Amino acid sequence: MSGDRRKEIVRHLSEDDLNRLLSEADDPKVVRRLTFVKNLYKGDSLEEAADRVGKSESTGSRWARRWNEGGLGQLTPNFGRTSPEARRRRAGTTLGDAP
């Protein structure tokens, strides 16, 4: 790991607003990501901030980039992968309909 890689973080929210969101968040994944951002606000390096929430520096870098691009909306978990079966159901077909 690089040691002291600092990441410029866009302050989309005040620290008070960030703390309020943290206290209201129900999803542990959102809490972890907001805590990571708070650690960056406080001056942690990417490695330090990621380590404090049990994630790798590369994950922290991805989260920081997403935060900078769009704040909380970009940072919240996106489980967009859909199984082939679910895609077929959405399209109105089933395995029996496939050629």
On average, the pLDDT of the chain sits at: 84
Long-range pairs for 32-38: beta carbons < 8 A, 24 or more residues apart: 33/63, 33/75, 33/76, 33/77, 34/72, 34/75, 36/60, 36/63, 36/64, 37/9, 37/63, 37/64, 37/67, 37/75
> Which has the higher per-residue pLDDT, 91 or 75?
75
48 vs 7, higher pLDDT: 48
Read off the pLDDT of residues 8-47 as tens digits, 9 standing for 90 and up: 899 999 999 999 999 999 999 999 999 999 999 999 999 9
Looking at this protein, which amino acid is placed at residue 71? G
In this prediction, residue 69 carries a pLDDT of 94
Task: Please report how the helices 28-41 and 15-24 are oriented relative to each other, as an axis angle in degrees rounded to 10.
Answer: 160
- State how far the Cα of 62 lies from the Cα of 80, in Å rounded to an integer: 16
Which of the four pLDDT bands, split at 50, 70 and 90, describes residue 2?
Answer: very low
